[in-house]
Amino acid sequence: MMNDRPALPVMHAVLTVVLLILVTLPLSCSRKSSDKEQVLPMAEIGDYTVTSEEFLGAFRNVFDRSGQALQVTPSVLREILDQRVSFYSIVQHGIDQGWHEDYEGLHQKNLIYRQVMMDEFRESFLKSDIRIEESDLEELFLRYNTHLRASHLYAPDRETADSLHQLVKNGASFEQLARDIFDSQSLRESGGDLGYFTVDDMDVGFENTAYSMAVGEISDPVRTSRGFSIIKVTDRITTPIITEYQYAQNKNRIRDLAIRQKAELRQREHMDEIIDAYSFDEQLLADLREWLDGHLGVDPVADVETEGFHSRVPQEYYGSIVASHDGFDLTVEMLLQETWYTPLETRRNIDNRHSFRNLVEGVAYRAYAMNAYENSPHYDEELVALSVENTFQNYLNRRLYRTLESEVEIPAHVLAEEYHNNPDQYMYPREVNVAELAVRDMDTAEKAWDAIQAGMSFQDALMKYGFDEEAKQVGGEIGYTPVSNFGSISPALSEIQPGELAGPFEMTSDVIFLFKCLGVREAEPMTFEEAKPRIMNNLTEMYVMEMRRNIIGETKERHNARVHYDRIDEVDLKL
């Protein structure tokens, strides 16, 4: 098997998938052997400690998630500390089980290493020179208050996108092309219609282009995270009044989004620059594709007894250079290794010349970026190692849950007992069919409400005051929806009856709703067969959490865990 040491390099269309691996960095941790050990740790479990700094970070996270409405009591603070101890107990359990050095654990750590290196490369080389001007924020706020409607033609690669675009330029029907290329029935029938959207609803490249276009205009091919789109804007609805107060209220949120979007666009530009500058050995690429064809779907965990796809390539080619740029050479061996550390679902989708080329280009970009970061003054080996370790700890927590979930077996009679003992949990919820009227400010909402109360029909009010053109086409009707899906306004709809009005409700900072009830489906019990999947999920969750608690307790006892609740009072709870 190839070297399991975290290696250099990685990818292009495939890079997006690598960057989206769902791992969340936890709060900073410290092993007992660390030079940064606190003199008085809050807790100790096995090789790990909870520092006062980490406890404070956990408290701030909980406080922020509560909407800063958390009642800070001694029991709450003890619970926060207990949660960190439980987290490290599971990490220690994973180490005890050898999960950090088995096939799955080593493979996961290599994936995490590559993610961290790419994150640090972006921070050091791409985000550092991003500047956000006031005009950027004003433009983004205007977009927030504008809804576009657009159709698109999708292509997985530039060559296909250019061909489609040429057909459009030559007079081919946009709608007919959509019917020809899409597998989705709705996209075929609608001519590629994507409906209405606003800021952050679409890929940032798609959004940037669409907002720069006039209604009826058709774009050149636009690179997105999934390939290319040719966009046709079909409608634009903008709020007529935007106040300075609304702008000031949303400015921080807009700034964060502006930075994120500019960083994403800068990364795509940089990828294109590097890939265009690479010199590829086309004959070697053709040979590699032939050797690897049909073999890239090897699972690095489930198929550990099977030879990896690298065995398909003659060893004498391992030192051959696939691509080179600016003194950096991507060898066949590096390409194979980085492909091995590409998510399995991505490799399984490599089924033609274009997707294979995307894979190779992506590997070449990641290789260049990681090498550039490692050889730059910004490189911080200790920071990378700590980030990998922190993220790996989250993986160990998720792995325990997944492992316990796979071990649960629930007898049929237990399912039946749960159904009969807790009938209230196995009900179809109350559903309401409502018509909605969306407006942009409370003054308009009150005018619409007063007009309806004075005798105007809801549909007439919708046509006069509403801004959502798509809703007008269906009379505002949204169809039967569980009351619980309405979030914070669910209580107001829990007893509404047909013909009654509800509202106005400020659902977001710039949209206010009125509702008229068109119909009600009252709650009713599920049959046992209907309820069985929910019963299984509920009991599985219950059993998993019970087993998890037992493992935490056993691990704490085995490693002589110590939790110093008396030190909570010494922490300055800065907010």
499: left (phi > 0), else alpha (psi -120 to 50), else beta?
left
Q: Does residue 112 contact residue 392 with C-beta atoms inside 8 Å?
A: yes
Going through 327-465 in order, the beta strands assigned E by DSSP cover 328-331, 427-428, 431-439
Does residue 345 contact residue 17 with C-beta atoms inside 8 Å?
A: yes
pLDDT per residue as tens digits for the range 247-273: 777 787 888 888 889 989 999 999 999
pLDDT(446) > 50 = yes
More confident residue, 61 or 246: 61
The closest of 22, 442, 482 to 246, measured between CA atoms, is 442
Question: How high is the mean pLDDT of the chain?
Answer: 88
- Quote the CA–CA distance of 40 and 168 in Å, as a whole number: 69
Q: Which domains does the chain have, with CATH numbers?
A: 1-137+266-410+527-575 (no CATH), 146-238 (3.10.50.40), 427-525 (3.10.50.40)
Q: What is the pLDDT of residue 304?
A: 66
Between 16 and 532, the higher pLDDT residue: 532
Outline where DSSP puts E strands in 261-417: 279-280, 321-325, 328-331
Interior angle at CA 30, CA 24 and CA 35, nearest 5: 140
Highest mean pLDDT among 66-70, 250-254, 438-442, 520-524: 520-524
What is the maximal distance between C-alpha atoms in the chain? Answer: 86
Written as six digits, the tokens of 375 are 């050889």
Task: Tell me what pLDDT residue 4 has.
Answer: 39
**Whole-angstrom distance, CA of residue 88 vs CA of residue 112:** 19
Give this prediction's pTM: 0.78
* Percent of the chain scoring above 90 in pLDDT: 67
158-209 pLDDT, tens digit each: 899 999 999 999 999 999 999 999 998 889 999 999 988 888 889 999 999 9
Residue at 173: amino acid letter? S
- Nearest alpha-carbon partner for 80 in 558, 575, 572, 565: 565
What radius of gyration, in Å, describes the C-alpha atoms of the chain? Answer: 28
Lowest mean pLDDT among 29-33, 499-503, 548-552: 29-33
Across 239-320, the runs of DSSP E, i.e. the strands, are 279-280
* pLDDT above 70 for 341: yes
Whole-angstrom distance, CA of residue 219 vs CA of residue 232: 7
Residue 423 has pLDDT above 90, yes or no: yes
In the chain, the amino acid numbered 467 is F
Give pLDDT, residue 186.
87
pLDDT at 22: 31
pLDDT of 307 reads 72
pLDDT at position 292 is 95
Pair 164, 118: CB distance under 8 Å:
no
pLDDT at 510 over 80: no
Give the CA distances from residue 354 to residues 262, 351, 357, 516, 559, in Å, rounded to whole numbers and listed in that order. 27, 8, 5, 51, 53
Please report which helix (H) or strand (E) contains residue 108, including its range.
Answer: helix 103-121
Answer whether 223's CB lies under 8 Å from 267's CB: no
**DSSP secondary structure letter of residue 495:** S
pLDDT one-digit tens code per residue, 344-378: 999 998 988 989 999 999 999 999 999 999 999 99
Angle between helices 381-407 and 74-96 (to 10 degrees): 90
Sign of the C-alpha dihedral, residues 118, 124, 128, 129? negative
Report residue 77 as tokens. 């603070």
Q: Spell out a b/e string for 393-408, using b for 16 or more CB atoms within 10 Å of the CB, else e.
A: bbbbbebbeeebeeee
Span 142-169, pLDDT tens digits: 887 788 999 999 998 889 999 999 999 9
Provide the 10 A C-beta neighbour count for residue 463: 13
Mean pLDDT value of segment 17-34:
40
Which residue from 347, 228, 239 is spatially nearest to 298, judged by alpha carbons?
Answer: 347
Is the CB of residue 44 less than 8 Å from the CB of residue 562? yes
pLDDT single digits (tens) 378-404: 999 999 999 999 999 999 999 999 999
pLDDT at residue 26 above 70?
A: no
The closest alpha carbon to 215, from 233, 242, 227, 199, belongs to: 233
pLDDT tens-digit profile of 106-123? 999 999 999 999 999 999
Q: What is the pLDDT of residue 241?
A: 52
Rounded distance between C-alpha atoms, residue 55 and residue 41, angstroms? 10
Contacts for 428 with CB less than 8 Å, ≥ 6 apart:
521, 523, 524, 525, 526
> Is-contact 559 46, C-beta < 8 A?
yes
Is residue 458 a contact partner of residue 540, using CB atoms and an 8 Å limit? no
Residue 483 has pLDDT above 60, yes or no: yes
Mean pLDDT of 318-346: 94
Distance, CA of 438 to CA of 513 (rounded, Å): 5
